[in-house]
Homo-oligomer: A and B are copies of this chain.
Amino acid sequence: MADDIVLVKPVMPAADQVARAVRTVFDSGVITNDGPRVRAFEQQLSARLGSDDLAVCASGTTAIQLACGALRLTGEVIVPAAAFPAVWQAVLRAGAKPVGVDIEPRYLTLDPRAVEAAITPATCAILAVHTFGCPADIDELTRIAARADVPLVFDAATCWGIGYRGRPLLSYGDVATLSLHAMKLTHSVEGGAVVGNGLRVADWIRRLRNFGIGGEGALAQGTNARMSELHAAIGEVVLAESDAEITRRVQVRRWYEDGLHTVDWLTVGAFRPEAGPNVAAMPIMLNADAPVDATTLCQELHQRRIHARAYFTGYYRPSSLRLAGAIPVAHDIANRLVCLPFWGRLTEQHIARVIDALTEIGRHHAPAVHLAGHAAAPVSPGAVGLGGPRGRP
């Protein structure tokens, strides 16, 4: 029987390289708390980005949280209503107030008109996501943020290796955050980083990740969000492999795009033409005449041992996020977006299996059920933050 085709397989360096890296850490006697491997990893990431203001931390989520902390955000932070839960949760964890606004239907990034309409005197930042590696509308958002006199933060969690107008995508925005989680193109098992572009933040992040301890006492925005020396050492080894992973992913995408032409009820996710390579993920959008919705498609693929994910619906839906207005695009997209398996070691045969499965699912579900029958449950417009478990656990 065929193996499972998982959603992402982490880049795995050779066992002897890992063993050597781990031994170096344990021999040094310093296994966490801002040691030499963390500093070396920060320098390597900085050098590749051409940045002089970068600090790593425990995760992509804490990267957003600490960025909000470093910017002293306590008011409303505009976030996309359709995004991975970490985005609005990290704003909450930082003590600020996320406000969801709609995305635009082509690139699935923050809709600048919706952002403009959502700005109030309480707005203290705009936090946009480069969704699945596709840049947000940087020009428009920069203009809006400048006019509102608030910082523009980009969650570039998935954007390692992606450029925009000749520069790393991570170099845009007053502050940009990166995930170094195992499922990302380059990773440190768990990890994240914050990059200061317009604003200098790295020294603040280094302080906040270590309980904000320093001169005048421990800062309230502090926490433990350190990257361990062990994770940093793995990060260095994986980073050396990342250019090869980019090359592999470019090929995998080509196989997908060739094959998906034959499936007429879906569309490959759009990508801004000035950005590339498109190596973060493999999102597809179900067309209006698709025979299944996103959740059903994931279930049917899973029955065929293919792991796909509908990131904006079901389990991933915000249980409570205050909204600034209607979010028709986010609701529509929730049931139409699916990420297919995407990682560098996928073979042409793997991709053919995915395409075959999609073709078969389309055939089984004819005649088409119109999507209107599968409308997403609306995102709750309830108060910020603390819905959830009912009754004490």
Binding site for B on A (CB under 8 A): 9-10, 12, 15, 18-19, 22-23, 26-27, 29, 31-33, 58-62, 65, 69-72, 74, 84-86, 88-90, 92-93, 95, 151, 181-182, 189-190, 196, 199-201, 203-204, 211-224, 226, 228-231, 234, 314-321, 384-389, 392-393
B317 touches A72 (CB 8 A): no
A315 engages B85 (CB within 8 Å): no
Residues of B within 8 A of A95 (CB): 92-93, 95, 385-386
CA distance A26 to B203 in the complex (A): 33
What separation, in Å, do the CA atoms of A319 and B393 have in the docked complex?
A: 33
The listed residue (B22, B60, B70, B316) touching A213 by CB distance below 8 A is B316
Give every chain B residue within 8 A of A60 (Cβ-Cβ): 224
Identify the 9 closest CB pairs spanning chains A and B, nearest first.
A85-B218, A217-B317, A219-B388, A61-B224, A217-B319, A59-B224, A85-B211, A204-B393, A220-B385
A130 to chain B, nearest CB (A): 19
Q: Are B393 and A217 in contact (CB under 8 A)?
A: no
When distances are taken between beta carbons in the complex, the residues of chain B under 8 Å from A9 are 29
- Residues of chain B lying within 8 A (CB to CB) of residue A15: 23, 26-27
- Whether B93 pairs with A223 at a CB distance below 8 angstroms is yes
Given A18-B26, A95-B386, A386-B95, A89 contacting B230 (CB threshold 8 A): no
Alpha-carbon gap, A26 to B230, bound state (A): 13
Chain B CB count within 10 A is highest, among A74, A216, A385, for: A216
Q: A58-B58, A231-B230, A388-B72 are in contact. Are A89 and B29 (CB under 8 A)?
A: no
Q: Which of B33, B196, B221 contacts A182 (CB 8 A)?
A: B33
Min CB–CB distance A225 → chain B (angstroms): 8
Residues of chain B within 8 A (CB-CB) of A86 are 211, 223-224
Which B residues lie within 8 Å of A319 (CB)? 212, 216-220
Asked if B72 and A386 sit within 8 Å, CB to CB, the answer is yes
CA gap between A72 and B182 in the complex, in Å? 30
